[in-house]
Amino acid sequence: MLKYLLIPLGVLSAIVLAAPDLVVLGYFFLIIPGLILTVVPTVFVYLLATFLIRPFVPMSSRIGSTAIAFGLAIALGFLVMLPWRMTELRRFQQAAIPDIVATPVIRLSGHVLVDFPPERGRVSKKTSCDHRCTVLLDLPGVESVTKISGDNAATYRCGADAAGTLVQPDQPQKILDAFGKLSRPHGIGAFEARKHLGRALQADWALRIAQGQTLRKDTPLENDRIDWRVVYQDIRQPGQPRIKRLEICDRNGTVKARRSLVQHRVPAFFFHFGFEGAFTNARFTIGGSTYSNQARYFDFDPDVELLRSTGIPKPDPAPDAVARMERSLAETLDDPNATEAQLLMAPMWLSLFRYDADKTQVDTIAKILLEERIADPYELLQTALRSKTDLTALRHGLTKRFLAADDPKARAWYVTALVDMPDGTFAQPSNNERAIWERADSVPEAAPFLERLADQGTVVVPILMATLDGVLEKPWHERWRVIRGVREAFKRLGPDASGAIPRITELMTEQRSPLTNSSKDRLQWLVALHRMGVPVEELPYGSWVKTASDLQRQSKRVRDQVERYEAERLEEG
């Protein structure tokens, strides 16, 4: 009887172990099927063990021997798990060292070292004075903050006589998130209040730096001069406890405050299969549970624990700090004798915005772009400007920065901003704009700007054709950007580019057209030709059209693409 039960259970166990999503479906539709599928593999293992043990039980009664064999199987499941469970419990207990509450709170002073691992997903080869660094430098009595992040280290000081290289703070407003978790405010109102306070804090730092209280970066301070150490560990190793731990030590290495979150998966008392996950990561595991030294749902934030242990006061910048910063920035941009510290207000002002700088800020941004004493701001502009903002006022600054940029990413961003400007912007081009067009076949990032030659009308058709013919013999990877730029210019010109139809048609009908490398390329050239004036039925479809139905289908594709293109142009205004 037992062996006949094992066969279907074994088959079902193999199926659910191979396809655990079936268990999720069982839970989704009806709870009971999901529960049954979850326990099937465990039942099969213990029944199989019972079947194998039963012949060795010295008992004539099959029911009695089966019951004894089943009990021995359960005991075996316990004995198998015991050494493993004890080992993992020992690992957890060794990692979960007691917390130390600072009573009274620690008053940091002198030279403070902050050792935090690099943030995941944020790759940087150098350190910066982040929100922890800035909030500590604001404490009375703190002379310097030495920051260690991975293999990088630097010491930061703030003051008129501080030694080192002038730098700007890195997102000092992020410390407000930790203060928010301490006070636990909720709702949109609390979010907006924190946002305004954050901008005021950034502006306050900018004003202080411009007024002489500069932030300087220097070589790391010697270990024997450090008065306090704030060390955060975030340890993730396969098979080991997950540890998050913040410790504050004095100059003698004595731990004055410690807060930890230690979590470790410990096997269950007896062997069974557990089930975890949902549709995306459903899987069976060996049964167990996660042990933690903190309460369930405890959220460990090292910044919050630092504030709790040290009593750092919440920053309180002046409410009008942003307005004063903007007035000071305007004066600085008009001052030919402005200092390096004063000019640092420009990137710090741009960092106030997160995709919300609009037309009211464009004039100031235009001055920043034209100011050669300010470093290339393209990375800040990427995250500062609101989508669909009219950047026409930035025209001359963008072209100037494009020609000066060494970073291909910067050139690509500047030329994209130029291409997206309103129709007719470049009808009367400047010398810098002409210079970008002249580099279209030698600087890859300049090629998309060919599209805006169309602003000058029919007179540029010979120039576009000469540019196109000049790259046809080059390899595809060297010519495709120029070809696309010319094609987009013809789309913009429409009937004004009709003079180029014979040559484009000739190139398109070649067996291996130099204008295309994919079906998408061919479709877009057909769109361009139709916009230029070729009837949709007379377009050079080539091998795409062999029958009347093919022509009807391809004609519809072209019309749809033209309608989409014209709708997008209309939306762009």
Interval 352-403: pLDDT, tens: 999 999 999 999 999 999 999 999 999 999 999 999 899 999 999 999 999 9
In Å, how far are 86, 236, 239, 241, 258 from 267, measured between CA atoms? 9, 19, 12, 13, 28
The band of 539, judged by pLDDT with boundaries at 50, 70 and 90, is: very high
Query: In degrees rounded to 5, what are phi and psi of residue 41?
Result: -60, -40
- What pLDDT score was predicted for residue 186? 63
Cα 327 from Cα 345, distance rounded (Å) = 11
Q: Are 163 and 218 in contact (CB under 8 A)?
A: yes
- What pLDDT score was predicted for residue 83? 93
Cα 564 from Cα 275, distance rounded (Å) = 49
**Which comes out higher in pLDDT, residue 20 or 443?**
443
- pLDDT tens digits for 240-278? 999 999 999 999 999 999 999 999 999 999 898 888 877
Least confident of 71-80, 113-122, 227-236: 113-122
Q: Are 256 and 248 in contact (CB under 8 A)?
A: yes
- pLDDT tens digits for 540-569? 998 898 899 999 999 999 999 999 999 988
pLDDT surpasses 90 at 103: no
The band of 93, judged by pLDDT with boundaries at 50, 70 and 90, is: very high
Q: Are strands 228-235 and 110-115 parallel, antiparallel or unpaired?
A: parallel
**Which comes out higher in pLDDT, residue 270 or 503?**
503
Query: Over pLDDT 70: what percentage of the chain?
Result: 97
- What pLDDT score was predicted for residue 509? 92
Cα 208 from Cα 216, distance rounded (Å) = 13
- What pLDDT score was predicted for residue 125? 62
What are the residue boundaries of the structural domains of the chain, listed by start? 1-96, 98-317, 329-417, 423-572
pLDDT surpasses 90 at 283: no
The band of 27, judged by pLDDT with boundaries at 50, 70 and 90, is: confident
pLDDT surpasses 80 at 280: no
Provide the phi-psi class of 161: left if phi over 0, else alpha when psi is between -120 and 50, else beta: alpha
- pLDDT tens digits for 456-488? 999 999 999 999 999 999 999 999 999 999 999
